[in-house]
Structure 1
Amino acid sequence: MTTPTTIGTAGTVLEAAGVTMRFGGLTAVRGVDLTVRSGEIVGLIGPNGAGKTTFFNCLTGLYVPTEGTVSYRGTRLSRKPHLVTKAGIARTFQNIRLFANMTVLENTLVGHHTRTKEGLWSALLRGPGFRKAERSSEERALELLEFTGLAAKRDHLARNLPYGEQRKLEIARALASDPGLLLLDEPTAGMNPQETRATQDLVLAIRDQGTAVLVIEHDMRFIFNLCDRVAVLVQGEKLVEGTSEVVQADERVIAAYLGTPFEDAPGAAEAAEVRAAEEARGGAAPGPEDSPPDAASGPAAPEGGAR
C-alpha cells in the first residue's frame, strides 16, 4: 500500500451507489457501492466473470445501469460516454484500442479533443483561435509523452510500438483529456515483471500529479503494493472492501479465488443446489482439491501469476 499525498483534500471524486446491471435475466452487477476520493488509488479485483469490466462500463456511460447512480464530484453523470469524459473521467480498456495507423503524437492529440473549444467552422477556416488551440493541444500531448517515456517515439506509428509501450500510449491518451479520475482496466495484462514495475511507478506518478485512480488488475502483487483500498467483486456483488492487509486476510476472498463455497457468499445458495443435484446423480461436484494448480495463487499470487 502506498501513502497518498493529497488524500481527502478535495473529498469524494467518484460515488457509485447501488449500481446494478442486468442483461435480460442475467444480473452481471448487483447493488455495488464504491467511492474514490481525491489523491487515492483504489483497486477492484475478483475472479474472472465477477463483473469488474461491466462495472467500469457502467461508470463511464458505455452501459446505462439498470439501477443505481454514478456521480462525479457530487454531480450525477451523463449516460453519454463523451460527456463522462468531458466531466473528468477517462479510462483504458482490457484490449488495446489505439489508432494503429496514426502516430504516437496523433493518438495522444485525439485524447485532448474534449478540452478544445473550437468548432467545425473554426477548424475548416483554420483561424487564429484554431491555430492557438492546436498549438496548446500539441504542447500538452508532448508533455504527456515525456511524462510516460514516449517522447522519443512521437512520430512512430502506434502499431509499431512494443506491447508495453502501446499500453503506455493508451494511458497517455487517456490523460490527455485532463481527467480527475483515471480508470485502468488490467493495465499490466501480458506484461513482463520489468514492464509491470514501470507501470506501477507510472500510476504512482499519475496519483502524485493529482489524478485519482481506480484500477482493475489480476496481478495481486501489483494491486496490494499500489492501492490505498481494495474492493472485491464476486459474481457481481461487492464481497469486501478495505486495506490490502484486510482483504488479504479475509477468508471469503481466499475462498472466492479458490472456488470454495462459503456461507452467505454471492451465489452460494445456487451453488449448493447444483452440488446437491450432481450428488443425487451420483457424480460429486469438484472440491478444492480439484482446483487447477495455479488456483492456489489466489489473492496473494506472486508477480506474473494468473491473470
Structure 2
Amino acid sequence: MTTPPTLAPATDNAAAGDGTVLQADGVTMRFGGLTAVRGVDLTVNTGEIVGLIGPNGAGKTTFFNCLTGLYVPTEGTVSYRGTRLSRKPHLVTQAGIARTFQNIRLFANMTVLENVLVGRHTRTKEGLWSALLRGPGFKKAERGSEERAMELLEFTGLAHKRDHLARNLPYGEQRKLEIARALASEPGLLLLDEPTAGMNPQETRATQDLVLAIRAQGTAVLVIEHDMRFIFNLCDRVAVLVQGQKLVEGTADVVQADERVIAAYLGTPVDDTPTAADPDTPATGAAAAESAESGDTP
C-alpha cells in the first residue's frame, strides 16, 4: 500500500487556524409535507475527520446539500469559520468548502488535468478581459494553476494520466480525480459523499490513506459512507442520522455500542435487540448490524 506524497500547503485559502471549521445548527429541510432532515446540529473542528452514517434514506446526502448551498435549509443555519454561509454553491466553495458526489460528476470528455483545472476557478483572480487579451497576468495565473493541478495529481497518484480523458479512467481513479478536483479549490473543509462506493478492498484502503493524508495537510473532512469498517477506522467522531434526525454522536466505540444504532440498521425496535448477556448474540455494534443488513455472516 503506497502512502500518498506530501502535498505542499495551499496559499490561496484562509489559514487553518484553531477551533470550529463547520457549525450546523438546527438544520431542517422540508420538501412539501416531507421532512427529510430535522433539526440536525453538527460541528467539525480543525484537523478532524468526522463520519456521517445511517441507513439508506436517512437524509445524509440531503444534509450535505444543505451544507453546500445546493439546498436552502427550511430552518437552521450553517457557518464556516464563524461566518454564515451564502445560499449559492459557488460562494460556498469560494468560502472554503468543497465536496465530491455520491454519483461521479466528472467532465468525461476533458482530460484529467483539465478536470482539476476546472476546480481552480474560485482561486483564479483574472477576469474576462484578462482572459481575452491573454496578457502577462493571465499567463502567470495559468501557469500557477497548472502547477498546482499537477501537485494535486501527484498527491492522488494520477500525474502519469494527466492527458487521459476522464471517461477512460478506471472507476477507482475517477473517484480520486473527483477528490483532486475538489482539493483544487483549496478547501478548509472537504465533504466526501460515499468515496469508497463500488471499490474493492485494496482501493478502499488506498482511499483511507488518501483521506488521512488530506487531514495531515490541514484540511478537515466530513465523510458519508456505508462501509462501517472504513468509517470506524478513519474517523475521530461519528454521527448517526436516522429518518432525518441525529440519533447519536461520538467515538467509534460509543456509536458501535449504542443499541439504537443497531436497531436502526436492522429495522427492529430497540427492545427487540439481543443484549450482550444473551449467549446466542452473534456480534454487537453497528459493524455487526451492517453485516446483517448486507446478508453477511458476522
Q: Same fold (TM over 0.5)?
A: yes
TM-score (norm: length of structure 1): 0.85
Q: Deviations over 1:131-157 (max 9, x none)?
A: 010000000000000000000000000
Q: Which residue of 1 aligns with 2:257?
A: 249
Q: Does 1:150 align with 2:137?
A: no
Q: Does 1:300 align with 2:267?
A: no
Checking the alignment, whether the CA contact within 8 Å between 1:257 and 1:298 is kept in structure 2 is no
Superposition deviation, residue 76 in structure 1:
0.2
Q: Which residue of 2 aligns with 1:181?
A: 189
Q: Which residue of 2 aligns with 1:66?
A: 74
Q: Which residue of 2 aligns with 1:134?
A: 142
77, 84, 106: which is aligned to 1:76? Answer: 84
Q: Deviations over 1:17-57 (max 9, x none)?
A: 00000000000000000000000000000000000000000
Checking the alignment, whether the CA contact within 8 Å between 1:101 and 1:158 is kept in structure 2 is yes
CA distance in 2, matches of 1:157, 1:51: 34
CA distance in 2, matches of 1:9, 1:147: 23
Residue identity matched to 1:255:
A
Superposed CA RMSD in Å reads 2.0
Q: Which residue of 1 aligns with 2:177?
A: 169
Checking the alignment, whether the CA contact within 8 Å between 1:91 and 1:185 is kept in structure 2 is yes
Residue identity matched to 1:190:
G
The 5-angstrom pairing of residues 44-59 of structure 1 reads 44-59=52-67
Q: Which residue of 1 aligns with 2:242?
A: 234
Residue identity matched to 1:183:
L
Checking the alignment, whether the CA contact within 8 Å between 2:215 and 2:221 is kept in structure 1 is yes
CA distance in 1, matches of 2:286, 2:193: 18
Checking the alignment, whether the CA contact within 8 Å between 1:258 and 1:298 is kept in structure 2 is no
* Distance 1:297-1:129 versus aligned 2 partners, 3 A rule: farther
Checking the alignment, whether the CA contact within 8 Å between 1:89 and 1:181 is kept in structure 2 is yes
Residue identity matched to 2:71:
Y
Superposition deviation, residue 298 in structure 1:
7.3
Superposition deviation, residue 306 in structure 1:
4.2
Q: Which residue of 2 aligns with 1:12?
A: 20
Superposition deviation, residue 232 in structure 1:
0.1
7, 24, 48: which is aligned to 2:32? Answer: 24
210, 217, 233: which is aligned to 1:202? Answer: 210
Checking the alignment, whether the CA contact within 8 Å between 1:297 and 1:306 is kept in structure 2 is no
Q: 3-state SS of the aligned residue for 1:64? A: coil
Q: 3-state SS of the aligned residue for 1:68? A: strand
Q: Deviations over 1:212-235 (max 9, x none)?
A: 000000000000000000000000
CA distance in 2, matches of 1:120, 1:10: 36
Q: Which residue of 2 aligns with 1:88?
A: 96
CA distance in 1, matches of 2:27, 2:269: 25
CA distance in 1, matches of 2:152, 2:17: 25
* Distance 1:157-1:298 versus aligned 2 partners, 3 A rule: farther
Q: Which residue of 2 aligns with 1:117?
A: 125
Ranges of 4+ aligned residues in structure 1 off by more than 6 Å? none
Q: 3-state SS of the aligned residue for 2:35? A: strand
TM-score (norm: length of structure 2): 0.87
| Percent of aligned pairs with the same amino acid | 89
CA distance in 2, matches of 1:61, 1:30: 17
CA distance in 2, matches of 1:298, 1:184: 24
251, 267, 277: which is aligned to 1:259? Answer: 267
Superposition deviation, residue 126 in structure 1:
0.3
Q: Which moved more, 1:254-263 or 1:145-154?
A: 254-263
Listed as ranges, the gaps of 5+ residues in structure 1 are 1-7, 264-286, 290-295
